[in-house]
Amino acid sequence: MTTSYPSVLPLLICVVVAAVAAFGLFGYGFPAIGRGAVAGGGAALAGALAAVAYIWGLVSLFLDESGTAQACQDANPALYGQVSGYRVSYLPPALDCRLSSGGSYPAAVPDFLTPVMTVCAVIAVTLALIAVAERRHTTASEHPEKRTM
């Protein structure tokens, strides 16, 4: 049986980096909205929510690190007898139980986390682009001498 267990060190590093990012983005987002920078603050908060969902997925992997076989058994007891190995992904967080027939099924990480991370990331990027466009428009209208023709 081939195994690919999640490693503790990469999980820990990713959790720490994502937690620092989430904390920083929350810290920037709320005051920015209070100052009237709704798009920039919203982008930061959406990014922070994506980071929190990522942390949740990594913690799910970490909690099942010592019991990967148990996670596969809990996820689908009927197919567990056909499991031939495991595949771990850190981005997005996932634990797939590989079947001897060639297929696989997910375990440990809740199914909704990847769509939540994706939607939050798309919203964050969209709002960040809107914030940049607003800032450029505001700067150009406040300083007409800086416009290039």
Q: How far apart are CA 32 and CA 52, in angstroms?
A: 20
Does residue 3 sit within a domain?
A: no
**C-alpha pair distances (Å), 134 with each of 2, 36, 39, 40, 143:** 53, 12, 9, 10, 14
Does residue 1 sit within a domain?
A: no
pLDDT reported for residue 2: 39
* 3-state SS, residue 122: helix
pLDDT reported for residue 1: 35
Among 110, 115, 138, smallest CA distance to 37 is for: 138
Q: What is the mean pLDDT of residues 124-147?
A: 80
pLDDT digits (tens, 9 = 90+) for 12-61: 899 999 999 999 999 999 999 888 889 999 999 999 999 999 999 998 88
136 falls in which pLDDT band (50, 70, 90)?
A: confident
Does residue 2 sit within a domain?
A: no
Q: What is the mean pLDDT of residues 85-94?
A: 86
In the predicted structure, residue 114 carries a pLDDT above the cut 80: yes
Number of domains present in the structure of the chain: 1
Residues 6+ apart with CB under 8 A from 85: 1, 2, 3, 4, 98
- Domain range for residue 73? 8-107+114-146
Q: How far apart are CA 6 and CA 135, in angstroms?
A: 43
